């Protein structure tokens, strides 16, 4: 998979030479000439490494990096190009979280070697379907998927409706079957009439009930060898919970109206927007089934808690429409601002519908805030996120940044402390203060 490098350099000669050399070396490269365009690009794309000059026409690389860190954004490793003898500045950047630096005049071969070494430590930063987001929360989930794919453990995905639980399940399936040779079968347990759910899950024999004119496989058999995704598992009727538990334990099903046990080999992934533990306490969900499907738990944060994903997702959704042959659309700066201020109660699903509606109704190549939110809407009038006080906001930013660093270092405290430029003791104190578990 090709690694993508973000280059922030205002000098046209150095920028052109570096971008050409990076592409010659097999990297994809996006070249930004100022801090404003870089800030927008970093919000929309995920990079393996970012190379940034210090001196930019509208700001500085150091100020830009400090803003990104202060916002709690999950960042790619940064390599800075500093002036000759600027040791103090380089030290400040490393303490702030930068990965490395080179001083002018620099050896291009040395810089390429540093970039390649960093890329070798990373999973390929693909822009394909397996990428879930650039926020710390989604990167942490994505970092866990390869380990989950190597096992057949049951996975429970929780999160609000529309947050992207099925996309996480599909990403897990793709990682476990990169060749795409096994099935992924999804079923919404809350959308099936109660009198049909047993047949839908386990299949039926011919003549099992009125209208059963032929044998039919259920979703367990359809998913044999692959992944079965049971969405809204909390909506499963109590009478079916017993039969579902038996099927999961035995890895075998029996058709409705039949007597033959049929073995199935599936990866089971369940999802819910309910609090299943509370449902167990209330007697609405079987405790034994809860523990059977709750081997590994992944929580997908709502979109309002991962604002850095909003423009990234919007860009991907618009790219997908263009790939289907529609006219390519972009977002005006006011539209981007309005998108990031809106609380998205419907999460990713609502964002997709919002963009689809705007693309259908607007003929312009660039979407405006009023195209997204209706006549009269603008960056100043679009619904705004509830404000936190400064202390709460800074704590949230720090918590997200440390969680992202822990995920990047796979929970290794010493390595995480080194990456953050603080001591292990300081990291432990911050984790306790911010309510972070040892594994991030």
Say if 284 falls within a structural domain. Answer: yes
149 and 83 housed in the same domain: no
Tokens of 136: 């710390």
Residues 27 and 82 reside in one and the same domain? yes
How far, in whole angstroms, is CA 342 from its chain's centroid? 19
How far apart are alpha carbons 264 and 411 in whole angstroms? 35
Report helix, strand or coil for 206.
Answer: coil
Q: What is the pLDDT of residue 48?
A: 87
Q: Say if pTM beats, i.e. exceeds, 0.85.
A: no
- Please give the pLDDT value at position 31: 94
420: left (phi over 0), alpha (psi -120 to 50) or beta: alpha
Q: Tokens for 147, please give them.
A: 């380990």
Question: Does a structural domain hold residue 89?
Answer: yes
Q: Reading across the β-sheet that carries 28-32, which strands appear in turn?
A: 28-32, 4-8, 49-53, 78-82, 100-103
Averaged pLDDT, 226-241: 93
Confidence of residue 1 (pLDDT cuts 50, 70, 90): low
Let me know whether 161 and 212 are in one domain: yes
Based on the domain organization, do 148 and 293 belong to the same domain?
yes
Report yes or no on 252 lying in a domain.
yes
Please give the Cα distance from 274 to 170 (Å, whole number): 21
Per-residue model confidence as pLDDT tens digits over 262-312: 999 999 999 999 999 999 999 999 999 999 999 899 999 999 999 889 998
CATH code, domain carrying 319:
1.10.8.60
Per-residue pLDDT band for 127 (boundaries 50, 70, 90) equals very low
Name the one residue in this structure whose structure tokens are 């097999």: 26
> Does residue 128 fall inside a structural domain?
no
**Confidence (pLDDT) at 392:** 67
pLDDT in tens, 187-209: 999 888 888 899 999 998 887 77
204 with 114, same domain: the answer is no
Mean pLDDT, all residues of the chain: 84
Q: In this model, does residue 402 exceed pLDDT 90?
A: no
Q: What is the tens place of the pLDDT at every residue in 136-154?
A: 888 889 888 988 888 888 9
| Co-location of 210 and 164 in the same domain | yes
Looking at the structure, tell me whether residues 73 and 170 fall in a common domain.
no
Considering the domain architecture, whether residues 87 and 153 belong to the same structural domain is answered as no
Domain region containing 165:
136-299
Supply 242's token pair: 């017993």
Written in H, E and C, the secondary structure of 351-370 is HHHHHHHHHHHCCCCEECHH
> Which residue did the predictor score with more confidence, 164 or 75?
164
> How sure is the predictor about 40, in pLDDT bands with cuts at 50, 70 and 90?
confident
- Copy the structure tokens of residue 90: 């380089």
Pair 210, 228: CB distance under 8 Å: no
Model pLDDT, residue 155: 94
Tell me how far apart the alpha carbons of residues 203 and 257 are, in angstroms, rounded to a whole number.
Answer: 9
**Position of tokens 């032929």?**
214
User: How far apart (Å, rounded) are the C-alpha atoms in residues 440 and 339?
Assistant: 29
Contact 8, 43 (CB under 8 A): no
What is the count of structural domains for the chain? 4
Instruction: Tell me how far apart the alpha carbons of residues 325 and 327 are, in angstroms, rounded to a whole number.
Output: 7
Q: Any idea what the CATH number is for the domain that residue 107 is in?
A: 3.40.50.2300
């Amino acid at each position: 998979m090709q690694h993508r490098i973000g280059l922030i350099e205002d000098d046209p000669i150095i920028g052109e030479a570096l971008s050409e050399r990076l592409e010659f070396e097999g990297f994809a490269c996006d070249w930004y000439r100022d801090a404003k365009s870089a800030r927008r690009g970093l919000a929309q794309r995920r990079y393996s490494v970012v190379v940034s000059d210090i001196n930019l026409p509208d700001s500085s690389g150091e100020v830009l990096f400090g803003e990104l860190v202060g916002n709690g954004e999950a960042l790619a490793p940064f390599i800075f190009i500093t002036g000759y003898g600027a040791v103090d500045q380089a030290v400040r950047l490393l303490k702030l979280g930068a990965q490395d630096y080179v001083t002018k005049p620099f050896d291009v071969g040395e810089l390429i070697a540093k970039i390649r070494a960093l890329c070798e430590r990373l999973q390929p930063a693909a822009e394909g379907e397996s990428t879930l987001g650039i926020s710390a929360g989604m990167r942490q989930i994505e970092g866990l998927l390869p380990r989950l794919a190597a096992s057949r453990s049951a996975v429970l995905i929780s999160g609000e409706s529309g947050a992207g639980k099925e996309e996480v399940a599909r990403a897990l399936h793709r990682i476990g079957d990169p060749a795409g040779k096994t099935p992924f079968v999804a079923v919404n347990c809350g959308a099936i009439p109660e009198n049909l759910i047993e047949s839908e899950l386990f299949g039926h024999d011919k003549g099992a009930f009125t209208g059963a004119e032929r044998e039919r496989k259920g979703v367990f058999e359809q998913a044999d060898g692959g992944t079965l995704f049971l969405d809204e598992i909390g909506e499963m009727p109590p009478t079916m919970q017993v039969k579902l538990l038996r099927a999961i334990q035995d890895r075998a099903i029996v058709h409705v109206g039949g007597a033959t046990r049929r073995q199935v080999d599936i990866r089971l992934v369940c999802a819910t927007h309910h609090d299943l533990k509370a449902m167990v306490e209330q007697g609405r969900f079987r405790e034994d089934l809860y523990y059977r499907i709750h081997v590994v738990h992944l929580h997908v944060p709502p979109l309002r808690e991962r604002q850095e994903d909003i423009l990234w997702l919007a860009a991907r959704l618009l790219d997908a429409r263009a790939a289907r042959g529609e006219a390519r659309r972009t977002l005006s700066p006011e539209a981007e601002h309005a998108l990031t201020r809106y609380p998205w109660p419907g999460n990713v699903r609502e964002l997709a519908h919002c963009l689809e509606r705007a693309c259908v109704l607007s003929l312009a190549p660039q979407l405006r805030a009023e195209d997204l939110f209706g006549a009269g809407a603008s960056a100043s009038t679009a619904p705004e996120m509830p404000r936190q006080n400064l202390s709460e906001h800074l704590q949230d930013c720090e918590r997200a940044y440390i969680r992202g660093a822990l995920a990047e270092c796979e929970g290794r405290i010493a390595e995480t402390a080194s990456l953050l430029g603080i001591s292990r003791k300081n990291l432990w104190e911050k984790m306790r203060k911010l309510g972070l578990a040892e594994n991030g």
